[in-house]
Amino acid sequence: MALGAVSVVRAAADNPVHGHYPPGQTGLRGAAFSQPGWSITDFNRFFTNLEIKDEAGNTIGHAGELRYANIAVISWTSDLQILGMNYGAYLGIPFATGNLNPDSTGESSIGLGDIIATPLALYGTSRDFDYQLQFSVWAPSGEFKFGGSGNRGSGFWSLIYSAGAVWYPTGERDGWSASAVARIEQNFQQTQTAITPGDNFDIDWGIGKMLEVAGHAFDLGLSGFATWQITTQSGGASMGRYHYYGVGPEIGTAIDRQWAARVRLQWEFGTENAAQGNNIWLIINYQP
């Protein structure tokens, strides 16, 4: 058992430090127009780190970890228009049960992670499209100590630049939809290690259709993600860049006028220089 723990830690150390964003957080209609007002969205993510992959995609360690993260997002959209788009902002506060990178010796207790603030979010709409632009700041608010077992944060700041759109082929919001949200994450130096993680590029996507069953509307389809490290990490051991992908089914529905729920399953594949596992998202939204 001790040898297994050592091999996982060594394998994790051979992987680059990852960015903050958990790929797959937005799926079907991920860039949908946000109506003026405020809302609370609770993201519950159950995820596994099963195998540690090297730069050739070979398995070099087995983690066998099950973790949980909760991200409460408070969003606000106004009637104020900038460039013909509605202005908004949001704040995300995460809690998690494990380190950002795999570590089988990590504590399982839940703790505050790194908070994300989005002071600029623009939402637009037309007959066939919804679209958005966002600028976000990820703060190192979670605990991070080099070699620590209770880490829930990353120890570095990041800036996120996002753009996305949803296409409605018939112009109807109750029919087919195809969506994509692209993000560039600019990562800064991890002060305790002098490591500057490479920047990363993420795409979340979804293809779905609204269906009515027994008089109730469901948004059903397939969603996934792709993430690539686009600049090489500086500091620490010399290593290549990471990438991995995920895909799976998704279903969402309005519970009543104020509440909605969504379930998203995604299996990861094509992983290099990262941990590979699976994700279950349970998302609850409230709009007064």
96/90 Cα distance (integer angstroms): 20
The more confidently predicted of residues 158 and 15 is 158
Phi and psi angles of residue 230, each rounded to the nearest 5 degrees, phi first: -105, -10
Per-residue pLDDT at 65: 81
Q: What are the residue ranges spanned by the domains of the chain? A: 2-252+261-286
Q: Supply angle C-alpha 207, 209, 215, rounded to 5.
A: 155
Buried b (16+ CB within 10 A) or exposed e, 116-134: bebeebbbbbeeeebbbbb
Q: Supply angle C-alpha 210, 212, 215, rounded to 5.
A: 145
2-252+261-286 CATH pick, 3.30.750.24, 2.30.42.10, 1.10.150.120, 2.40.160.40: 2.40.160.40
**Closest C-alpha to 60, from 4, 1, 2:** 4
Residue 182 has which token pair? 């692209």
SS (H, E, C) the chain: CHHHHHHHHHHHHCCCCCCCCCCCCCCCCCCCCCCCEEEEEEEEEEEEEEEEECCCCCEEEEEEEEEEEEEEEEEEEEEEEECCEEEEEEEEEEEECCCCCCCCCCCCCCEECCCEEEEEEEEEECCCEEEEEEEEEECCCCCCCCCCCCCCCCCCCEEEEEEEEEECCCCCCCCEEEEEEEEEEEECCECCCCEECCCEEEEEEEEEEEEEECCEEEEEEEEEEEEEECCCCECCCCCCCCEEEEEEEEEEEECCCCEEEEEEEEEEEEEECCEECEEEEEEEEECC
Neighbouring-strand partners of residue 13:
none
Per-residue pLDDT at 103: 45
Q: How confident is the model at residue 10 (pLDDT cuts 50, 70, 90)?
A: very low
At 254-268, the pLDDT tens digits run 999 899 999 999 999
Residue 203 has which token pair? 């795409």
At 162-181, the pLDDT tens digits run 999 999 999 999 999 999 99
Q: How confident is the model at residue 11 (pLDDT cuts 50, 70, 90)?
A: very low
At 32-82, the pLDDT tens digits run 999 999 999 999 999 988 899 998 899 988 877 888 999 999 999 999 999
Q: How confident is the model at residue 206 (pLDDT cuts 50, 70, 90)?
A: very high
Question: Tokens 């949200």 appear where?
Answer: 181
155/141 Cα distance (integer angstroms): 8
At 112-152, the pLDDT tens digits run 999 999 999 999 999 999 999 999 999 999 988 887 777 88
Per-residue pLDDT at 14: 61
At 226-250, the pLDDT tens digits run 999 999 999 877 678 999 999 999 9
At 86-119, the pLDDT tens digits run 999 999 999 987 665 544 445 567 889 999 999 9
Per-residue pLDDT at 104: 44
Checking if the pLDDT of 3 tops 60, the result is no
Q: How confident is the model at residue 1 (pLDDT cuts 50, 70, 90)?
A: very low
